[in-house]
Every structure is written in structure tokens, then in C-alpha cells.
């Protein structure tokens, strides 16, 4: 019997009464296990296994996939589940985990970041939602070894000058200065404020980052860069 501290990422029906769960655990990273009889109307286990729940899970293993024998809800994050926009962003992150993480490879930093994100998002105001989401993504890229260079030009290695035109290179993974810009293709313009935001994300907790005042336009542009960056470096 294995006990896991787990965040439920997703589930799918296995047959008329059973359901397969994909969870991200503190102990072993991504884990898949079946809960038998959980689709029956009187099944009590299902309430502890909703996506977006932090749960203590017990899994029995013999041959093949493990079977969930018990579960206890630790944190339900109800405000996320009741808010369409919050839930949508959380599900996007869960999908990223399903596509990019291998089974049985645990990472405490990743687990703690995801747990912290859900806790912060659960009580966040609508005004703070976008910056919390953006901060999470860039922090995750950093933990996964894909932190872009934002302190110096990735081409000439010179320190970035204030109030000068700068570009983001998806391929090079960082900032290109105005002098080096003509030597590269497919660059994305990036502002000093957006570069400062990235530095803030990596240097502060999600809770502190949520208090930073930033325009919606700046965040939206940074989100576009992040989406292209994620498609290039991940599945």
C-alpha cells in the first residue's frame, strides 16, 4: 500500500462503474490509478477525487495499474471550482502536466509550486488572476530548466540597457538587444516593464507577485510570448 499526497489533475471513465485518475504526487510525480465502483451513485470516494483537489490517496499495487483504496480531502479549493475563469486556467495547467510529465518522476519544487498556485488562486480577486497565472507559468518554466535570459543579450552577452529597444527570441531563449536585432529573424518586441515582470516573477512568491500593479496590456503581451515559448520548448 502506497500513500500519496496528491493533486487530482484529471479523470476518465474506465467502464460503467470504474474511473481512471491521473494525479500529480509529492512522492512520485505523475501517477495513474483506478478507483473501482467510484461511478456508482452511492460511492463516497468520488467526492475526494475531483480534479483540482489536494487529497491524501492510498493506492494498492500488485500487477499492472494501482487501485485507489482510500482518499481523504486535504484542500478542496472550492473558489476555483466555482469560478469559470479560475477553473479554466487551472485546467490548462493540468493539461500541460499531462502532456509534459512522465510517470514516476517526482519533483518537490514542481509539486510545491502547483500547490501554492492553487492556494493563491483560490482566494485571489479577479484583478489579480492574470498576474498570478502568468507568474506561475514562468516559474514553472524556470524549475523545468527553461528559464530565458533576461539580464543580458543572449547574442552579444552585453548587459541590457534601459530605455532601449529589445526583442524576445524564442529560439535563443532570451532577450536580444537593439544592436543584435537585425541579425535575427522572428523576434518579438518586448518592453522594459515586461522584462522587469519576469524578474519579479522569479524573485518573489506568487502571493507577493499578486500585489504588483501592472496593466492588462502588458500582461496580455507577455502571455502571448509565453504561449509561443511553451509551444516551442514543450509538447
- Where in the chain are all domains bearing CATH 2.40.50.140? 2-123
Model pLDDT, residue 134:
98
* Angle (deg, nearest 10), helices 108-122 and 84-100: 170
For residue 38, the model assigns a pLDDT of 85
Region(s) of the chain under CATH 2.10.110: 142-233
For residues 235 and 105, which has the higher predicted lDDT (pLDDT)? 105
Mean pLDDT confidence for 7-19: 91
- Confidence band for 17, pLDDT divided at 50, 70 and 90: confident
Write down the pLDDT at residue 21: 96
**Residue ranges of the alpha helices (H) in 52-150?**
78-82, 84-100, 108-122, 129-143
Mean pLDDT value across the chain:
95
Cα angle value 77/214/110 (rounded, 5°): 40
Count Cα atoms within 13 angstroms, Cβ side, for 171: 5
Nearest to 196 by CA among 182, 179, 214: 214
pLDDT attached to residue 124: 96
What pLDDT is recorded for position 203?
Answer: 97
pLDDT digits (tens, 9 = 90+) for 177-230: 999 999 999 999 999 999 999 999 999 999 999 999 999 999 999 999 999 999
Facing residues of 56 across strands? 5, 72
* DSSP state, residue 150: -
User: In this predicted model, what pLDDT tens digit does every residue of 42-93 receive, in sequence order?
Assistant: 788 888 999 999 999 999 987 778 899 999 999 999 999 999 999 999 999 9
Per-residue confidence (pLDDT) for residue 3, from 0 to 100: 95
Q: How far apart are CA 79 and CA 57, in angstroms?
A: 22
Q: What are the start-end ranges of the H helices in the chain?
A: 78-82, 84-100, 108-122, 129-143, 192-203, 206-209, 216-233
Q: Please name the fold of domain 142-233.
A: 2.10.110
Mean pLDDT over 136-154 rounds to: 97
Question: Quick one: pLDDT at residue 44?
Answer: 86
Read off the pLDDT band of 4 (50, 70, 90): very high
Beta bridge partners of 99: none
> Nearest-CA neighbor of 144 among 176, 174, 107?
107
Q: What does the pLDDT read at residue 162?
A: 87
Q: In what order do the strands lie in the sheet with 188-189?
A: 174-177, 166-169, 188-189
pLDDT of 123-144, one tens digit each?
A: 999 999 999 999 999 999 999 9
Q: Is the pLDDT of residue 146 over 80?
A: yes
Mean pLDDT of the 148-165 span: 95
CATH class of segment(s) 2-123: mainly beta
Amino acid at each position: 500500500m502506497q500513500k500519496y499526497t496528491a493533486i487530482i489533475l484529471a479523470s476518465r471513465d474506465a467502464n460503467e462503474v470504474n474511473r481512471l485518475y491521473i494525479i500529480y504526487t509529492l512522492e512520485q510525480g505523475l501517477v495513474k490509478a483506478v478507483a473501482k465502483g467510484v461511478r456508482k451513485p452511492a460511492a463516497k470516494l468520488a467526492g475526494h477525487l475531483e480534479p483540482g483537489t489536494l487529497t491524501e490517496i492510498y493506492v494498492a499495487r500488485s500487477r499492472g495499474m494501482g487501485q485507489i483504496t482510500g482518499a481523504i480531502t486535504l484542500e478542496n479549493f472550492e473558489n476555483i471550482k466555482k469560478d469559470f475563469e479560475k477553473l479554466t486556467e487551472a485546467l490548462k495547467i493540468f493539461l500541460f502536466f499531462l502532456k509534459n510529465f512522465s510517470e514516476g518522476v517526482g519533483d518537490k519544487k514542481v509539486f510545491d509550486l502547483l500547490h501554492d498556485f492553487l492556494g493563491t488562486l483560490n482566494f485571489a480577486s479577479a484583478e489579480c488572476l492574470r498576474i498570478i497565472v502568468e507568474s506561475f507559468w514562468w516559474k514553472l518554466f524556470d524549475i523545468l530548466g527553461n528559464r530565458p535570459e533576461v539580464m543580458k543579450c543572449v547574442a552579444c552577452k552585453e548587459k541590457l540597457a534601459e530605455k532601449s529597444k529589445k526583442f524576445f527570441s524564442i529560439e535563443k531563449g532570451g532577450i536580444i538587444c537593439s544592436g543584435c536585432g537585425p541579425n535575427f529573424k522572428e523576434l518579438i518586441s518586448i518592453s522594459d516593464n515586461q522584462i522587469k515582470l519576469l524578474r519579479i516573477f522569479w524573485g518573489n512568491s506568487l502571493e507577493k507577485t499578486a500585489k504588483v500593479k501592472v496593466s492588462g496590456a502588458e500582461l496580455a503581451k507577455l502571455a502571448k510570448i509565453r504561449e509561443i515559448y511553451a509551444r516551442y520548448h514543450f509538447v
